[in-house]
Amino acid sequence: MNPFPIILAALRRSWLTALLFICIIAATVALGIAISAQERALRQGSGTAADAFDLIVAAPGSQTDVLFSVVYLDPTAGGLLSPELLAALMAEERADFIAPIGFGDSYLGRQVVGTTAEFVDHLGGGLAEGRLFAARQEAVVGAAAGIPLGTTIDIAHGDAGEVGDADHAGDAHDHDHDDDHGHAHDDDHAEEAQQPHQHLHDPVTVVGRMQPTGTSWDRAVIVPIEYTWHAHSLPLGHAPEEGERIGPPFAAQHLPGVPAVVVKPQNYAAAYDLRSRWRGEGSTAFFPAEVLAELYGLLGDVARIMSALTLAAQLLVVAAILAGLLAVLDLQRQRFAVLRALGAPGRFIFLTVWLYVALLIWAGTLIGLPLGLLVAGGVSSVISAETGIAMTPRIGLVELRLIGLLLALSLILSLVPARLIYRRPVAEALR
């Protein structure tokens, strides 16, 4: 005997209830898939973002804070690497380049970062358009900064979060403005300067745009480190007779302290030697992968706990749905009893009920798989827009194991209502 005509008839008769059960299961599965896929996407995206930062040297303190400041452009208050140690680090011959990093300024919610042209070229693998900055009042912007080349911008002192409102942080203007426009800008400049936490520095002109990097630097404004030092009334790294020259080599006696330095070692041996050498009382040195491994370990523990909780929640939802289906099937007990009275074997009734319940759970589970990927993609887009880190969630073995486990358990749980319906006496069901 074929159970599927009976199953289809039951679905047509209670289609709204069946659809509701399928939607609940799909939503529950989608939540579990989204959590798992998003956690892996975050791990991969954050790891890729740190690839260009071979070795970071900073003042003693939290390496995690330094990592988030330098790689993910989320600066936190911390110590400065002393000018003496910075000068000694700059003299290292086992590095392809040594780039000081400076923070403290912003433009329309974008971090303004001071560094060297060599590091900008290394980070972006070349520019998408324009050229590297060659003067103190020139800037290169990230691929997603949204600032056209040739734009002159007013950089404000303070964290990007304090000046995120475009109406108050200063308007960009082009070099080709006439005198009237220039006066208008002067008025705007005076008004902006009155805003709290928005002391404006010398304007800079955007001369280049980086290639997309998939990092927070894609939304940054990058200026010469000398601009950052000058804006904060620090030594400029060069002797006065050198004028406004930028970039290395720097004069040791004219260097200020810096929050961090990115070092590009010549080879692996040099990298480990430099890390060991610059781990001392006055400085700390680390590979970003070291700190990320610790964070991933913690994140992995949290992810495993969340996965277990999600699976438990899914099983509870399935159990609740089974209870609901049992109530629905109980309303149809007379139909099954009539089939038994007409000679249908008990195993046929058992198989029909088991398939009916299992199909509903399988349908919800299989719909929840792509739905979960869609949810994870939406969450990744939001996080990428906030942080600049490129993330692409994908379905992996972890998610497939989760789905496989749920499908297997559903086949077992479906035996419960099938057995209860099967064992009910025909005479009792017919009443």
Tell me if 151 sits within 8 A of 173, measured CB to CB.
Answer: yes
End residue of a domain, out of 286, 316, 331? 286
End residue of a domain, out of 267, 286, 305? 286
**What spatial distance separates the first Cα and last Cα of the chain, rounded to whole Å?**
26
Residue 162's pLDDT is what?
39
Q: CA 236, CA 225: separation in Å to the nearest integer?
A: 8
- For 182-207, the pLDDT digits (tens) are 433 444 433 443 344 455 678 899 99
Are 331 and 377 contained in the same domain? yes
Are 235 and 86 contained in the same domain? yes
* Average pLDDT value over all residues in the chain: 78
Are 301 and 344 contained in the same domain? yes
Residue 72's pLDDT is what?
87
Look at the chain and report how many structural domains it folds into.
2
- For 5-31, the pLDDT digits (tens) are 777 877 887 788 888 888 888 888 888
Are 62 and 211 contained in the same domain? yes
- For 355-399, the pLDDT digits (tens) are 888 888 888 888 988 898 898 888 888 887 777 777 778 887 877
Are 109 and 22 contained in the same domain? no
Tell me if 288 sits within 8 A of 382, measured CB to CB.
Answer: no
pLDDT band at 129 (very low <50, low <70, confident <90, very high): very high
Tokens 């902006």 sit on residue: 192
Residue 167's pLDDT is what?
36
Are 165 and 237 contained in the same domain? yes
- For 52-63, the pLDDT digits (tens) are 899 999 998 888
Q: DSSP per residue over 27-88, as a string?
A: HHHHHHHHHHHHHHHHHHHHHHHTTT--EEEESSS-HHHHHHHHTS--------B-HHHHHH
Q: Taking 60 as the threshold, does the pLDDT of residue 88 lie above it?
A: yes
Tell me if 107 sits within 8 A of 154, measured CB to CB.
Answer: yes
End residue of a domain, out of 224, 255, 286? 286
pTM score > 0.85 for this model?
no
Of 210, 190, 208, the closest CA to residue 200 belongs to: 190
Give the residue, 265 or 314, on which the prediction is more confident. 265
Give the residue, 404 or 161, on which the prediction is more confident. 404
The whole domain housing 146 covers 55-286
Q: Mean per-residue pLDDT for 226-240? A: 87
Mean pLDDT is lowest, of 31-35, 161-165, 284-288, for 161-165
HEC string of 404-428? HHHHHHHHHHCHHHHHHHHHCCHHH
Are 155 and 74 contained in the same domain? yes
Q: Mean per-residue pLDDT for 121-148? A: 90
Residue 330's pLDDT is what?
62
Are 333 and 224 contained in the same domain? no
Of 115, 123, 302, the closest CA to residue 223 belongs to: 115
Q: Taking 60 as the threshold, does the pLDDT of residue 328 lie above it?
A: yes
Residue 195's pLDDT is what?
41
HEC string of 238-262? CCHHHCCCCCCCCCHHHCCCECEEE
Are 10 and 33 contained in the same domain? yes
Are 232 and 355 contained in the same domain? no
Are 40 and 60 contained in the same domain? no
Are 245 and 317 contained in the same domain? no
Q: Mean per-residue pLDDT for 293-318? A: 70
